[in-house]
Amino acid sequence: MDWQYDGIPLHPLLVHLTTVSVPVAALSAIVVAAWPAARRWLAVGAPVIGLVALVSVPLATSSGEWLEHRERETALLERHTHLADGLLPWSIAVFVLLTLWWGWNRFAVPRVTSSGLVRAVAVVGPVLLVTAGIGSLIEVVVIGHAGAVSVWKG
């Protein structure tokens, strides 16, 4: 695919989408894990935000790979592209966990009779959500910083 419009690379535009949607999805994961009222308030919105973040990551990496082949290769650029490959698993985890957490709280909790299962999921779910949220936040900051350094110092 040609990742440019009118001769201008689309990578910066797609990266901005990613650098907004991934942290918003991560923060949504942390908020719904820690604050029960947010689960009702965000409801299906949290998984939708996670989906936007998930879709933005391959778009940003694909457009970045396209751009990488048109730029002079440097160690800084190589570091940025290497780090960028690590964001997709975190985005998948955030989306899947947000979707499962929403589905659990929406459909399963009202129907489950085993209080042991409810308690186990009530502990494990938030831990996984917070871990995935913090991991994706750290990853997007590190990748973004490496990209900025490769542009401005490379």
Contact assessment for residue 54 and residue 99, using Cβ atoms and an 8 Å cutoff = no
Q: What percent of the chain shows pLDDT beyond 90?
A: 68
User: Which string of DSSP letters, residue by residue, matches 81-124?
Assistant: HHHHTTHHHHHHHHHHHHHHHHHIIIIITTT---HHHHHHHHHH
For the chain, the straight-line distance linking the first and the last C-alpha, in angstroms and rounded, comes to 26
The string of pLDDT tens digits covering residues 55-80 is 999 999 999 999 888 888 899 999 99
Residue 112 has pLDDT above 80, yes or no: no
Residue 103 has pLDDT above 70, yes or no: yes
Q: What percent of the chain shows pLDDT beyond 70?
A: 99
The string of pLDDT tens digits covering residues 43-60 is 899 999 999 999 999 999
Q: How confident is the model at residue 154 (pLDDT cuts 50, 70, 90)?
A: low
The H or E element that residue 149 is part of is: helix 115-152
Average pLDDT over the chain, rounded to an integer: 92
Residue 111 has pLDDT above 90, yes or no: no
pLDDT mean over 4-14 = 90
User: What's the Cα-to-Cα distance from 89 to each of 133, 139, 141, rounded to whole Å?
Assistant: 12, 10, 15
pLDDT mean over 22-43 = 93
Residue 113 has pLDDT above 80, yes or no: no
The residues spanned by each domain of the chain are 4-152
- Among 139, 134, 127, 7, which Cα is nearest to 70's? 7
pLDDT mean over 140-145 = 96
Residue with tokens 């947000």: 98
Residue with tokens 């780090």: 83
Q: Which of 7-16, 87-96, 110-119, 130-139 has the lowest mean pLDDT?
A: 110-119
Contact assessment for residue 53 and residue 91, using Cβ atoms and an 8 Å cutoff = yes
